[in-house]
Amino acid sequence: MKNIVVLVAVIILIGVFSMQHFGTDKVGWLFAPIVLIWFILIGSVGALNIHKHGSSVLKAYNPVYIYRYFRRNGNSSNTWTVLGGIMLSITGTEALFADLCHFPVLAIQIAFTFIVFPCLLLAYTGQAAYIISNKQHVNDAFYRSIPDAIYWPAFVIATAAAIIASQATISATYSIIKQALALGCFPRVKVVHTSKKFLGQIYIPDINWLLLILCIAVTAGFKNQSQIGNAYGTAVVIVMLVTTFLMVPIMLLVWKSHWILVVTFIVLSLMVELPYFWACILKIDQGGWVPLVIAIAFFIIMYVWHYCTVKRYEFEMHSKVSMAWILGLGPSLGLVRVPGIGFVYTELASGVPHIFSHFITNLPAIHSVVVFVCVKYLPVYTVPVEERFLVRRIGPKNFHIFRCIARYGYKDLHKKDDDFEKMLFDCLTLFIRLESMMDGYSDSDEFSLPEQRTEGSINTAFLADKTVNTMCSNGDLSYSSQDSIVPVQSPLGVNNLLTYSSQTNRTVSNEVEFLNRCRDAGVVHILGNTIVRARRDSGIIKKISVDYLYAFMRRICRENSVMFNIPHESLLNVGQIYYI
């Protein structure tokens, strides 16, 4: 019988995780009525049991009784074991708050105050009243306390509610991984945004199937409800403690609360949480070790990835090529300029990346036109195509070196930009025309270009991250013949500005024609691949972490060529090794 229950549980888990790709909002709309019916059912059954078996159980709300309980039973292990069992009654409500980024805060506050909290109080109080009258049914008091007339409907609803109760934890896991990705603390994984309205509603396929494997392993491995409950209770009480301690810097630094209020909050919170924590610690060997092992494994992964990623980024930042070095090479960069366009992909939004100097140091030729491409994802739903690119010239015109920052919203997929090369080339052409217009001014070194705005458009000057904003002067878009940034708008909006002398038009036509010839000669995508290695004199732990663990994670995570949708037939990887 137990094996059949485990098999059914595994099938249910597979079904739950297979539905996650539909999105939190769709899954919520599908199961929300079931949860509502579930809470109303247990609240009604609890009220019925209180009425049927006596209302004297309401005395349990008096905190004096728990003091008497500990005083009478002493500090024995059985006393703390009972307290650990009580912890399971609040684990579900704690997981509810993990969905704050998936649902409006007001919706969760209303649901918790008027539905969840009163129904849970009635349910547990009713079960206590039933147990007082039927002490022999203590092991399965919940189903025993349900009237026979509604037993099977309640069983079906309870099973459905148990299935979807895991949705909060699953959604919270996606959110944690997404935040870790943003902080550079987790290997690159695919993040799918499932909602246009809520930024936090996401789906991560890799994490989804990893969670499924872990859940099946725990379910099939324990085969015991109490051990799974101990594991869950240990995880939740540790989350509560961590949350309480993290509230201290928020209250002091963000809310500017008085220290007396902070101390009061800490004391009151720890008075409740520490006894439960101690009760769960006593059950470490009864299943509580599972969340600790998983947490340690994820901590090691996140720490190693973050450490190596930061070291790699610091190396790239400190190794940026100076503009004086580029200018000293001359228009030919000291090499043979072969026909064609080279797209050099980099994470740096300013400066010339070290991978470029590494490339031209080892190869005797470089393309006639070089474009440094930096792809940035912004916290907006979508970036209009006409506002997607920021273009800048690096060095004098005869160098033919540009920088392009491609900006995408969280629902814009770079891999669906089949005409990315064409759009980027059109942006370069438009940039050259706009830049030539600025050369017509002689009373100022910097100029501002009026922008056309459409309803719902985004501010092209401020949506890029802080590294992009450093390329702007005093927060405004400024232009000059040597160093200019142009927000690429629709060509129809600037045709009326292109009315300059025939000499200027001839110069623009020559450069545009030069770009066309280079494009016809071929386009090559140059991608840097910095390999991080531990120094020879490093310790054994560091060598294992960097040379094996980090290298393995780099190998299995998404490659930049996949993220940027670079065609393999025109991809050129330039590798270099950095020892830390």
pLDDT of 34-50, one tens digit each?
A: 888 888 999 999 999 99
CA distance from start to end of the chain: 56
pLDDT at 263 > cutoff 90:
yes
Q: What is the pLDDT of residue 378?
A: 77
pLDDT at 491 > cutoff 60:
no
pLDDT at 441 > cutoff 70:
no
> Rounded to an integer, what distance in angstroms lies between the CA atom of residue 160 and that of residue 34?
7
Which of 98 and 220 is assigned the larger pLDDT? Answer: 220
> Rounded to an integer, what distance in angstroms lies between the CA atom of residue 511 and that of residue 331?
15
pLDDT at 401 > cutoff 90:
no
Nearest to 219 by CA among 519, 13, 364, 511: 13
Task: Give how far Cα 317 sits from Cα of 177, 313, 353, 381, Å.
Answer: 26, 6, 8, 30
Structure tokens at 102: 């998936």
- Name the E strands within 121-214: 192-193, 202-203
- The mean per-residue pLDDT over the stretch 240-249 comes to 89
> Rounded to an integer, what distance in angstroms lies between the CA atom of residue 336 and that of residue 323?
20
Q: What is the pLDDT of residue 182?
A: 74
Write out pLDDT tens, residues 80-137.
667 766 766 666 565 555 545 556 778 778 888 888 889 888 998 998 899 888 888 8
> Rounded to an integer, what distance in angstroms lies between the CA atom of residue 559 and that of residue 546?
18
Side-chain-facing half-sphere of 137: CA atoms under 13 Å: 15
- The mean per-residue pLDDT over the stretch 24-30 comes to 64
Across 212-226, 264-278, 382-396, 479-493, the highest mean pLDDT is recorded for 264-278
> Rounded to an integer, what distance in angstroms lies between the CA atom of residue 442 and that of residue 480?
11
pLDDT at 335 > cutoff 90:
no
Which of 27 and 258 is assigned the larger pLDDT? Answer: 258
Query: How large a percentage of the chain has pLDDT more than 90?
Result: 7
In this structure, the dihedral spanned by the alpha carbons of residues 512, 513, 514 and 516, taken in order and rounded to 10 degrees, is 90
Judge contact between 440 and 433, C-beta under 8 A: no
Instruction: Give the model's confidence band at 321: pLDDT under 50 very low, under 70 low, under 90 confident, else very high.
Output: confident
Out of 1-10, 11-20, 99-108, pick the least confident: 99-108
Judge contact between 185 and 306, C-beta under 8 A: yes
Q: What is the pLDDT of residue 44?
A: 93
* DSSP 8-state code for residue 447: B
Task: Give how far Cα 264 sits from Cα of 64, 126, 241, 284, Å.
Answer: 21, 34, 15, 30
Structure tokens at 465: 């991250």
Stated length of the chain: 580
Order of strands across the sheet that contains 485-487? 485-487, 389-394, 401-408, 365-377, 336-345, 523-533, 571-579
Instruction: Give the model's confidence band at 302: pLDDT under 50 very low, under 70 low, under 90 confident, else very high.
Output: very high
Measured in whole angstroms, how far is the alpha carbon of residue 560 from the centre of its chain? Answer: 17
- Between β-strands 401-408 and 365-377, what pairing exists: parallel, antiparallel or unpaired? parallel
Write out pLDDT tens, residues 61-84.
888 887 887 777 766 666 766 776
Write out pLDDT tens, residues 173-195.
888 888 888 778 888 888 887 77
Amino acid identity of residue 346, one-letter, is: T
| Phi and psi, residue 537, nearest 5° | -90, 10
List the Cα angle 113/118/124 in 5-degree steps. 140
Instruction: Give the model's confidence band at 457: pLDDT under 50 very low, under 70 low, under 90 confident, else very high.
Output: very low
Q: What is the pLDDT of residue 476?
A: 33
Q: What is the pLDDT of residue 273?
A: 84
Query: How large a percentage of the chain has pLDDT more than 70?
Result: 75
